[in-house]
Amino acid sequence: MVSALYPGFARNLGVSGWAEVQCFLEEDGHPFNCRVNDEEPKGLGFGAAARLVVASGQLRTGRLNGAPVPGTARSVVRFRVEDMEDEVSSWNGPEPTPRTLQLAREIVEQRVSEWQEEYAEDTFDGLDYDRRLIVQQWMNELLPGLEERRVARVITQMARLFDDVQLKAMLSGDTEHVTFEAITPDHFNSAYPTPSPDEEAAFEEVKARYCQRFSCVASEGPPARP
């Protein structure tokens, strides 16, 4: 659950963090009205993500005469970047034909605005809005044509993962027999071409600039409370 809710921008930057969340508890241990007491580093969305982690779980309640009673509880949720470093296997399947690439391109062009919004949301997930414009300016400077690169990659992904019959079905809107469920996130990512050296260097520079201007360092956790 924690890895699934890891804030996207912090994950992409390779930054770890934590947040302390306090919730009211029902008798069965389900938390509600959760609030963030503290988080580090701030501005990366660890607090909001931790609140979702805690609110979706169940906590131990206090007891009175052996019976559970409602109350409150504090939880510290830790997001460790090393837990996210499972290497995605590289693509080892057949390369698509020019016809398959053309079909994939037609599909992507139909939804390019939607997918660009999805990529932007994932790229900046959790990042404070007042910092997004700054980071976007850095990315535009260091990686001109980034949107075009992303579109080209999605075309390759689609062409590698779906055959001509499935791609034609998508174009016609008849997706009943398209096996979307078989395409896991790891499978989809494995069909993603390896970032070029200039892209890797650019993202390292973005991280360096961000961490110099804002905080990327978290303490061990919140101080002990009575």
DSSP of 4-35, one letter per residue? GG--HHHHHHT--EEEEEEEEE-TTS-EEEEE
Average pLDDT over every residue of 51-80: 71
Of 77-86, 92-101, 110-119, 182-191, where does the model show the most confidence? Answer: 92-101
In percent, how much of the chain has pLDDT > 90? 35
Does the pLDDT value for residue 34 go beyond 60?
A: yes
Helix (H, G, I), strand (E, B) or coil at 57: coil
pLDDT at 65: 43
pLDDT at 220: 87
Average pLDDT over every residue of 153-178: 85
In percent, how much of the chain has pLDDT > 70? 82
Average pLDDT over every residue of 169-198: 72
Cα–Cα distance, 22 to 17 (Å, whole number): 17
Helix (H, G, I), strand (E, B) or coil at 117: helix
Does the pLDDT value for residue 64 go beyond 50?
A: no
pLDDT at 89: 58
Does the pLDDT value for residue 171 go beyond 90?
A: no
- Poorest-pLDDT segment among 48-62, 87-101, 152-166: 48-62
Side chain identity, residue 32? F
pLDDT at 139: 92
| pTM for the structure as a whole | 0.77
Average pLDDT score, the chain = 83
pLDDT at 32: 82
Judge residue 117's burial from the number of C-beta atoms within 10 Å of its C-beta, 0-12 exposed, 13-18 middle, 19 or more buried: exposed
Strands 31-40 vs 62-64: parallel, antiparallel or unpaired: unpaired
pLDDT at 121: 83
* Residue whose token pair is 């939880």: 75
Cα Rg of the chain (Å, integer): 22
Does the pLDDT value for residue 67 go beyond 50?
A: no
DSSP H/E element including 37: strand 31-40
- pLDDT interval class at 185 (50, 70, 90): low
Question: Which residue has better confidence, 172 or 63?
Answer: 172
Question: Which residue has better confidence, 30 or 88?
Answer: 30
